[in-house]
Amino acid sequence: VVSGNCATTPTSLGNYAHIDFPNGPAGEVQSLKLKAQTNASQDAHLFFGTIYTVPNGLQSLGLELVIDAFEGTKSILRWGIQGEEIAEFRGRILERGQWTSLWVDIKSSGEVQVAAGESGNVFLDIALDITGTYDLTHGKIYAGSLGQKPAHWLLCRE
């Protein structure tokens, strides 16, 4: 369900839900700022970019954020879905049985910051050299989860 700059969606079993914000920013976008909340207990995924259907599968171009992967031991940024790991944070982020707040700030220059909790503690901070190749601020937004139970997401684009 999408309402203005916010959307809510259920996710489960590794399927990505595409969030289509109808009132996307107009003109030159310098950053994509997203506030997200999820009740996933592990393997919570956000993807910023484009997913293409190809024979026998999917192909992606963009940035994948995976929170509490590998049995909840680390969170990672990857280029593409299941792609090359480009940054990691070791430790648990998601609150089991509760909603967890996340903030993502992606600048067209390639700077990416990911924060968690009510105080917005940054746990991933990276500068990608993608200037002039692919602008993540214009990509689509997808949410997913791989946990044992279905999870819900609330996403608000600022």
Token pair belonging to 156:
């608000």
Q: For the CA atoms of 93, 107, 132, 46, what is the dihedral angle to 10 degrees? A: 30
Which pLDDT score is estimated for 25? 53
Which pLDDT score is estimated for 29? 65
Query: Each residue of 105-142: pLDDT tens digit?
Result: 999 888 999 999 887 899 999 998 876 678 888 778 99
Which pLDDT score is estimated for 35? 95
The answer to whether 67 and 94 have CB atoms below 8 angstroms apart is yes
The stretch 133-156 carries a mean pLDDT of 86
